[in-house]
Chains A and B, each alone.
Chain A
Amino acid sequence: MLKIKNLKASINGKQILNGINLEIKAGEVHAIMGPNGSGKSTLSAVIAGREDYQVTEGEIIYNGKNLLEMSVEERAAAGIFLGFQYPVEIPGVSMVNFIKTAVNEQRKAQGIEPLNASAFLKLMREKKDLVEIDSKLTNRSVNEGFSGGEKKKNEIFQMAMLEPKLAILDETDSGLDIDALRIVANGVNKLKRPDTATVVITHYQRLLDYIVPDVVHILYKGQIVKTAGKELAFELEEKGYDWIKKQVDNV
C-alpha cells in the first residue's frame, strides 16, 4: 500500500529525515516509536503533504501513485488520514458543517454522489456511538473549547466518518487518561479492515496494549534504526531508548 524509499526531508534548511525506508501492506498495523525529536511527527506531516517541509530526496509510492506529486486534499481524498497530535481549533466553523464538507468533497473527488442530509445524519449517529463522542461536541465549532481527550476522540470520530485506507495517528495517545485511551483504541480496532492499514506513532508502549501492532519500528535521528515484531515495544518499555541510542551512536 505504501512504500517509502530513502526519504529525506528538511524544514527551514534543517534536515530532519535522513533516509527513511518503510513498507506498509494492507491489513497491517505498524507502530513507530522513538525518542523526542527523532522525526516521528515530521514523517507523518510529510506523508500528509504539509508544505512547510521540503522533500530533498527519495520517494513515497502510495497504491502505485507518486504521493509527493499530490496536494494535501488529493491525498486525503485518496484515503490518507492524519490524526493530529495537536488538533486545530477553528472558531466559527461548526463540526457538522466541517465534517459534512469533508465527507462530500472526498466523495466528489472520488466521483461518488454526495450524501444527502438524512444519510449524512444517519452516518454521523453511527460513528458517534462508535467513538462514544458527545452530541454536544459535534454541535460546537471544530475543537473549540474541547478538552485534550475530547480533541483526540474527535480525531477518531473524523477518521470513522471518512473511512480512510491508510490512517496515521500521530501521538493520539499522549495526554489521554486510561478511559479515553481505551475508547480511542477501541475506535481504531473497530475500524480496522483487511484492506486498510494503520500507522500508530507513539511515545509510550501503553497504547500498544490496546492496539496490537504487527510491526514495530524505532525512529532515531531521522532514520529507522530497528524493525521487529510487537515484542520490541515491551523491550523498549523495560529498557528505555538509551541502549538503542548507544548502539546507533557507536556505529
Chain B
Amino acid sequence: MDNKKYNTDLFDLFEANIDDINKYSSDAINKHRSKAFAEFKKQGIPTKKDEKYKYSDLSNVFSKDYNVSFKPIELNINIDDIFRCDVLSLDSHLTVLSRGKYFEKERIKKLDNGVIIGSMIDASIKFPEIFEKHYNKYASTGKDSLTNLNTAFAQDGIFIYIPKNVIVDKPIQIVDLLIDEKGYFSNTRNLIVAEKGSKTEFILCDDSLASAEFLTNTVTEIYLGENAEFEFYKLQNQHNEANNLAATYVHQERDSRYLSGVFSLLSGFIRNNVFVEMNGEGCENNIYGLALPDHSQHTDNSLYINHFKPNCTSKQLFKNVLDHTATAAFNGEVYVAKDAQNTIAEQTNNNILLSETAKVKTKPQLIIYADDVKCSHGATIGQLDEEAMFYMRARGIPFKEARMLLLYAFAYDVIKEVKIPSLRDNLEDLTRRRLNGELSLCRNCAVRLVR
C-alpha cells in the first residue's frame, strides 16, 4: 500500500508547526530536526515493499485521524491521586510521562548517589555535556525512517543518567500513560546513559487511562559504558486502539551486559525495533519477549543485533501465543563482523496458534563474516500439543485448565528470565489472566480505578 497521502500530511504537519515544536522544546534538541526531517522526506513511512516492514502494514496505523498538539499539556488531574502502581510491590523511582512529555512538577532531579532522572528538555539545558555526547548518537544511523520521524518531531521525553560505578538501589520505573479522551499522535524521545561499572534495573510500563485511538512513535537510546549492567523490562499493556511504534537503540562498550524482557500483553498494533551494537569485547546481550495478541491485534518484534567485536554473546528468545485473527511477526537479524571471532549467538522464536485464522511470520537470520563462531537460530509454529492435552484430561484435568497449564508453561520460559521477583510474580499473574481471555490490568493501576 502506498503511504503517499499520509507522508504529505506529516510533511505539512511538520512545516506548519515547526515554530511550536521548537518553542516548546530546547535548542539542543531542535538542532537535530532539520536533517532528520530531510531524511524522512526522502524515505517516507515504510511500506510493505520495504523488506524490514513487509509483515507490518503501517498504512493502517497512519491512516487514522489523530489529534496533534505541540504545546505543553495541561491536565486537570493530579497523577499522584489517580496513579498508584503496585505492579511492583516494591519501591521504585517512579516517574510518569504522557504524550511524550515529562509530567512531574520537579522537572529534573538529582539523587544523592548522583543519578539524574528527569525531562529531556531540562537535561539538555542543565547537563549539556552528557546530553551532547549521547543524544541522537546511536539512533542517527539514518536507516530507519520512523526514527527520523521521531527525531524531527520529538520535543521531550525521559533522560536518565547513572554515574560511574553507581549501583542504583531500586528499579527506575517510567509509566507512559495514554491519558486523553481524544486520541493523539505523539513522539517520545528517551535517553539513558549508564556509565562504566554501573548497575541499573529499569522498567517501562506503557499503560492507558483512556480508550481512544493513539499512535505513539517512541525512540529510546541506551548507552552502556564499560562493564555496565543494565536490565530493561518493558510492559506493553494498553487497549485495542493503541498503536505503538517503539525503537530501542542499545550501544554497548566492552564487558557490558544488557538484559531485556519485552512483554506485549495487550495493544492494538505493536512494532518493536531493537538495534544493538556491541562495540567492545566481552559484551553480553540477552533479549526475551512474550506477546499474547488476540482478536485483530498485531505484534511485530524486529531485532538487529550487531556483533562488531570478538568474544561477545547474544541470545534472543521470543514467544508468541496468538488467538482469533491476531497476527504476529518476528524478524531477527544477527550480524557478525569479520573481526568478531568467538561470537556466540543464539536466536529462537516459538509460536502457538490457537485458532485457524491467526497468522505468524517468522524470519530468523544470521549474517556471518567471521569464521570462528557458534551461532544458531530456529523457529517453530505449532498448535497446542494434543498428546499432552489428552494426557492431562485423562488425569481429570478439564480442557480449559489443561490448556492453561500448557500455555502458561510455554510463556513461563520467558517470564522466568525476569530478575526482579515482584515484577516476575506480577507478570505471572498478568499472563495467566491474559491467557484466560481477561484484560490483564495491573491490580492497582490507575486504569482500573478510572474504569
- Chain A interface residues (CB < 8 Å from chain B): 48-51, 71-73, 75-77, 81-82, 84, 87-93, 97-99, 101-102, 105-106, 109, 141-142, 158, 162
Contacts and interface: CB of A to CB of B under 8 A. Distances in A.
B388 A73 contact: no
A92 B393 contact: no
Interface string B390-424: 11111111110100011011101100000000000
Contact of B396 (A50, A73, A84, A93): A73
B387 interface: yes
Contacts of A87: 391
B405 A76 contact: no
Interface of B: 385, 387-388, 390-399, 401, 405-406, 408-410, 412-413
11 contacts: A48-B394, A49-B394, A72-B390, A73-B397, A76-B395, A84-B394, A88-B387, A90-B392, A90-B405, A92-B408, A102-B392
A87 B393 CA distance: 13
Given A84-B391, A98-B392, A90 B397 contact: no
B297 to A, nearest CB: 24
Contact of A102 (B395, B399, B412): B395
Contact of A93 (B387, B399, B406): B406
A105 B401 contact: yes
Given A72-B390, A101-B405, A109 B412 contact: no
A91 B409 contact: yes
Contacts of A89: 388
B76 to A, nearest CB: 48
B226 to A, nearest CB: 37
Given A90-B405, A90-B409, 17 more contacts: A50-B390, A73-B393, A73-B397, A76-B394, A77-B396, A88-B391, A90-B388, A90-B391, A91-B409, A92-B410, A92-B413, A93-B409, A98-B395, A99-B395, A105-B396, A106-B396, A141-B409
A251 B258 CA distance: 76
A82 B387 CA distance: 14
B393 A93 contact: no
Nearest to A91: B409
Lowest 10 CB-CB distances: which A-B pairs, in order?
A92-B409, A76-B396, A102-B395, A72-B393, A106-B396, A88-B391, A73-B393, A90-B388, A93-B409, A77-B396
B233 to A, nearest CB: 21
A90 B406 contact: yes
A6 B71 CA distance: 82
Contact of B395 (A50, A91, A158): A158
A50 B386 CA distance: 11
Given A90-B406, A92-B412, A106-B396, A101 B391 contact: no
Nearest to A75: B394
Which of B393, B394, B399, B409 counts the most A-chain CB atoms under 10 A from its CB? B394
Contacts of A102: 392, 395-397
Nearest to A161: B395
A75 B399 CA distance: 13
A76 B391 CA distance: 11
